[in-house]
Amino acid sequence: MAASGRPDLVPPGAGRPTATLEGLLEALPASAVLFGADGHAVAVNRLGRGCFVIDERAPLPSQPMAVVLQLFGTPALDAAQAAARGASPETCTIPNGRTGRMTEVRAVAFGKDLVLVTAVDVGDRDAERQRLARAERERRGLLALIPGAVRLVGLAGHIDSANDEAMAEHAEGPPADVRALWERDAPYDLVHHRPLGLLDVPAMRALAGQIVRGQRLEVRRRSGRRVVEAYAAPVTNDSGQVLGAVLIDVDVTESERLVEERSRALLATHEEQVRERRLSAVGQLAAGVMHDVNNALNPIMAAAYLLRHHAESPAAVRDYADRIRKAAEIGAATASRVGRFIRQEPVHAGGDEEVDVSVLADEVLDLTEPMRLRRSSETGEVRIVRSFAEAARMRGIPGEIREALLNLVQNAIDAMPDGGTLTVRTAREGTDACIAVRDTGVGMSAEVRDRAFEPFFTTKGSKGSGLGLAEVYGIVRRHRGTATISSVPGHGTEITLRFPAVSSPAAVQVAPEPAPQAPRRILVVEDHEDGREFLRRILEGDGHTVDAVGSCQGARDRLGASAEAPYDLLLTDVGLPDGSGWDLVREAKAAHPRLRIGVITGWEPMAGAEKVREAEFVLRKPLRAAELKAHIATGPSLASPSHA
């Protein structure tokens, strides 16, 4: 052993290795041992001392090849001996007998005197190779399982790999890069309805660091236009740098077709259900109207029969005439309620006034006091709670609002057969004037609550017509308001009406009583022969001069021939056989600006603000003679001295 403590590097009689050779041996990134021609070790680097069997107590040249390489067994020894005989370099992978890890042993001859044996631990490399192989198998499996076309794109836009679905999408073969894919697809954005440029396609957006989820595109694939949902995401390294992108296109063409077919089927089913419900509602409406109208016609027919057989008795004639009038008014009220519900036209300007809903609510409670007292004496006490606000004011028709509240209060009392508490509350809430009627009665189920505003729907059996809440709803809508129901079975019901509020009370103006006027010259336009004749007789009975026609053209002819004796008033129906009465009103007003015009209609007298303003008054059939006479009495005659 040398003084430095290192074993001798040269066997007896051999020359010492040069410093260059020793340096090269140490520079090798592997365990290395150098053998001489006699098969004994000549030199070993530091890595080799931990890998080969080296006896540190004996001179290195005394350690034979078989001992030094014994940890790697016969394969390593055979390779070294073959190299010493001048054979080609041999490499074998064998486990290290000390660590058990796989080691790559290589033997190389240097001339005739030296043999170099290196050993490299390849356990990690094999593990990495196996890991990469497993990852590649898993990647191929995932690509095969994904229900769509999958492409892996490099940073330069080249398509590195694709699954079978993607490979089969283009008849001319798979595109090589993103540009070629864009050119073949000609993608069209179905959401924004525009073709996509190259920089806007999902692949380019992903290479720019964006994530694309479910972009709906129409593309040219499989010899036709297809609809796909495109997904794309960047592939990055640990520092966040983009290395490429993964693209997934899911073909949803068939799904779109199925959705459209199902949507059409559902729409058709829904329309059929709506049609059936509409027909059912019309049937209920017709049945209810028939019931109420027949009830009104029955006393009319009976009174007409008795009137004919008691014509000689003035008292009987007057009595039966009054009975006929009252029965007709009941039928007219039924038609009016149905008409208000069906049309739900808003109250026009000039047909309303400013009202205090608290005053109306108080009046209705006073009107229903006998009903409350009777119920309290028969079953259980019905208590009244008034909670009125001073600032709850609105514009509307007081009689209609009063009628709506009367319906609500009567329903609330009926809903408490064993007594309870009826609370009527008014309030100003934001821009709304509110009226709420609450009872502590039986309440409503969800089904009843949903149908409560339908015409002729009732839970009272033969005791109810089913027009009450429907009429309330129509009145509220006509006043541009809303009606809501809150109810719990067994705990009562609250119905809240909301109307546009006004800020302050307006001064009440009382119109003066009209003074008696001279007879008028009147043109009546009515297509119903009996109605035209009765109207003529009523007007002529007051001394007026009346011409009556049954069509728009007849009215135009009479108006055109009235230059010398102009008419004071035009009374016209709306539904005429050759046109609309409103068109006649407009024409007559343009040709005769000083002509007064009144409209008589079987519909609700709310034909729209513009049309209503063209007429001085609108009356609803059945006509009340007193109301018509009051309108005729106001206004001058064109034949009077003031107009001469």
Structure tokens at 428: 């100003």
pLDDT given for residue 180 in this prediction = 92
Q: Which ranges of 436-580 does DSSP label H, i.e. alpha helix?
A: 446-451, 468-478, 529-541, 552-560
Q: Say whether 146-251 and 19-121 share the same fold.
A: yes
pLDDT given for residue 242 in this prediction = 92
Q: How far apart are CA 99 and CA 71, in angstroms?
A: 9
- In b/e form, how buried is each residue of 109-140, taking b as 16+ CB within 10 angstroms? beeeebbbbbbbbeeeeeeeeeeeeeeeeeee
Tokens 């008033």 correspond to 569
pLDDT given for residue 5 in this prediction = 39
Sorted by sequence, the CB contacts under 8 Å of residue 22 that are 6+ apart come out as 9, 43
CA 171 vs. chain centroid, Å, equals 41
Question: Lowest-confidence range among 59-68, 272-281, 449-458, 635-644?
Answer: 635-644
What average pLDDT does this structure show over 322-332?
Answer: 67
What average pLDDT does this structure show over 140-160?
Answer: 81
- Strands 90-95 and 102-110, by their bridges, are antiparallel
In 190-327 the beta strands, taken as DSSP E runs, fall at 194-195, 212-221, 224-236, 242-251
The fourth-level CATH superfamily of domain 19-121 is PAS domain (3.30.450.20)
User: Which long-range contacts (C-beta less than 8 Å, at least 24 apart) are formed by 529-536?
Assistant: 531/621, 535/571, 535/623
Contact 143, 149 (CB under 8 A): no
Q: Is the pLDDT of residue 87 over 80?
A: yes
Percent of the chain with pLDDT over 90: 23
Tally the C-alpha atoms within 13 A of residue 415's C-alpha that lie toward its C-beta.
Answer: 27
SS3 of 104, please?
Answer: strand
Q: How far apart are CA 150 and CA 250, in angstroms?
A: 9
SS3 of 8, please?
Answer: coil
Crossing angle of helices 357-367/369-378, nearest 10°? 50
pLDDT given for residue 115 in this prediction = 92
Q: How far apart are CA 544 and CA 568, in angstroms?
A: 10
What average pLDDT does this structure show over 414-440?
Answer: 90
What's the Rg (C-alpha) of the chain?
A: 52
CA 549 vs. chain centroid, Å, equals 54
pLDDT given for residue 65 in this prediction = 93
Domain boundaries, the chain: 19-121, 146-251, 271-343, 353-500, 521-643
Main-chain dihedrals φ then ψ at residue 513, nearest 5 degrees = -65, 125
SS3 of 99, please?
Answer: coil
pLDDT given for residue 436 in this prediction = 93
- Strands 617-620 and 596-601, by their bridges, are parallel
SS3 of 361, please?
Answer: helix
Q: How far apart are CA 553 and CA 575, in angstroms?
A: 13
Q: Is the pLDDT of residue 273 over 50?
A: yes
SS3 of 4, please?
Answer: coil
pLDDT given for residue 12 in this prediction = 42
Q: How far apart are CA 335 and CA 337, in angstroms?
A: 6
Tally the C-alpha atoms within 13 A of residue 345's C-alpha that lie toward its C-beta.
Answer: 15
Residue 246: closest CA among 140, 154, 179: 154
Residue range 146-251 forms a domain whose CATH class is alpha beta
Residue 107 pairs in a beta bridge with 90, 117
Q: 319: pLDDT confidence band, cut at 50, 70 and 90?
A: confident
Q: How far apart are CA 525 and CA 535, in angstroms?
A: 10
Q: How far apart are CA 555 and CA 597, in angstroms?
A: 13
Tokens 């009319």 correspond to 300
Sorted by sequence, the CB contacts under 8 Å of residue 446 that are 6+ apart come out as none
Instruction: Give whole-number Cα distances, 45 to 59, 75, 117, 221, in Å.
Output: 15, 22, 11, 64
| Per-residue pLDDT reduced to its tens digit, 200-250 | 999 999 999 999 998 999 999 887 888 999 999 999 988 889 999 999 898
Burial tier of 499 (Cβ tally within 10 Å: 0-12, 13-18, 19+)? buried
| Per-residue pLDDT reduced to its tens digit, 110-146 | 878 899 999 998 877 777 777 777 877 776 766 666 6
DSSP 8-state class, residue 501: B
CATH of 521-643, one of 3.40.50.2300, 2.40.10.330, 3.50.50.60, 1.25.60.10: 3.40.50.2300
Q: How far apart are CA 528 and CA 522, in angstroms?
A: 18
| H or E element in which residue 487 lies | strand 482-488
| Per-residue pLDDT reduced to its tens digit, 461-507 | 544 444 568 778 888 888 889 999 998 898 899 999 999 988 765 44
Q: 520: pLDDT confidence band, cut at 50, 70 and 90?
A: confident
| Per-residue pLDDT reduced to its tens digit, 573-603 | 888 888 888 888 888 888 888 888 988 887 6
Q: 437: pLDDT confidence band, cut at 50, 70 and 90?
A: very high
Q: How far apart are CA 375 and CA 342, in angstroms?
A: 34
Q: 33: pLDDT confidence band, cut at 50, 70 and 90?
A: very high
Q: Is the pLDDT of residue 514 over 60?
A: no
pLDDT averaged over every residue in the chain: 80
Q: Of 295-304, 423-432, 502-511, 516-525, which has the strongest mean pLDDT?
A: 423-432
Q: Of 146-155, 394-403, 494-503, which has the strongest mean pLDDT?
A: 494-503
Q: Of 90-104, 229-243, 346-360, which has the strongest mean pLDDT?
A: 229-243
In 122-169 the beta strands, taken as DSSP E runs, fall at 149-154, 159-162
pLDDT given for residue 446 in this prediction = 85
Q: How far apart are CA 10 and CA 213, in angstroms?
A: 72
CATH of domain 353-500: 3.30.565.10
What average pLDDT does this structure show over 149-171?
Answer: 87
- Strands 353-356 and 382-387, by their bridges, are unpaired
pLDDT given for residue 277 in this prediction = 66
Neighbours of 551 (CB within 10 A): 16
pTM for the full predicted model: 0.39
SS3 of 556, please?
Answer: helix
| Per-residue pLDDT reduced to its tens digit, 59-75 | 999 999 999 999 999 99
Residue 496: closest CA among 329, 380, 305, 357: 357
Q: Of 17-21, 166-170, 455-459, which has the strongest mean pLDDT?
A: 166-170
pLDDT given for residue 89 in this prediction = 86
Sorted by sequence, the CB contacts under 8 Å of residue 10 that are 6+ apart come out as 16, 17, 42, 61
